[in-house]
Amino acid sequence: MNQEVSPINIVVLASGYGSNLQAIIDAINTNRLSARLTAVISDQKNAFALERAQRENVPAIYVNAGKKPDRIEFDRILLEALYGLKFELIILAGFMRILSAEFVERYHGCIMNIHPSLLPRHKGMNTHERVLRNGDEFHGATVHFVTPELDAGPIILQKSFRVAFDDTAERLKERVHECEHQIYPQAIQLFAESAISI
């Protein structure tokens, strides 16, 4: 890590298990990533990601948006949660909601996402199953800046591997996770070094 780089403040949004969040925490704790984790926010009360935050004494915030909030209403509540937090970058790490265009424009160039495919292939859900169905030779993960169009923002880093003949969707998920845990901290570090921007 470039020791000259002053740490950036990041907020992580996660809906589930949070293995990418953990990879980011580990990279910070081992000085591979010059960042401070300000808070973890989840739309799921029982997300294990929230527990990972608590273990690090980082504020773990559950955004209770009710049963079926529309995108605008959810983002209004999310903005409330973000209000007062210090951050230069919002990290989507398995955050399973689509943010409104208004929200994305507000934080233009300051939201990153990780996606379980080699974008622009396989935007959206069920990427591992689609890779198998298509007989793709390669699969992998992508870190990109978030723009209003889903999974279409500028690509920052990708890591790929050759699909094995006996790979299952579950095995592909594991292999993609291994790629993700490497490239997400690296991409955030590039941002901290001001080496990338939209």
**Catalytic annotation, residues:** 115
Nearest-CB residue for ligand GAR: 94
- Token pair of 139, please? 């699969």
- The minimum distance between CB 2 and ligand GAR, in angstroms, equals 26
Residue number, 19 or 34, with CB nearest to ligand GAR: 19
- The minimum distance between CB 100 and ligand GAR, in angstroms, equals 16
Residue number, 27 or 114, with CB nearest to ligand GAR: 114
Q: Rule CB under 6 A: which residues touch ligand GAR?
A: 14, 16-20, 93-94, 114-116, 176-177, 180
- Token pair of 29, please? 């704790």
Please report which residue ranges of the chain form alpha helices under DSSP H: 19-29, 48-55, 71-82, 101-106, 127-134, 169-192
- The minimum distance between CB 3 and ligand GAR, in angstroms, equals 28
Helices 127-134 and 169-192, axial angle in degrees (round to 10): 120
Cα 67 from Cα 24, distance rounded (Å): 30
Residue number, 50 or 93, with CB nearest to ligand GAR: 93
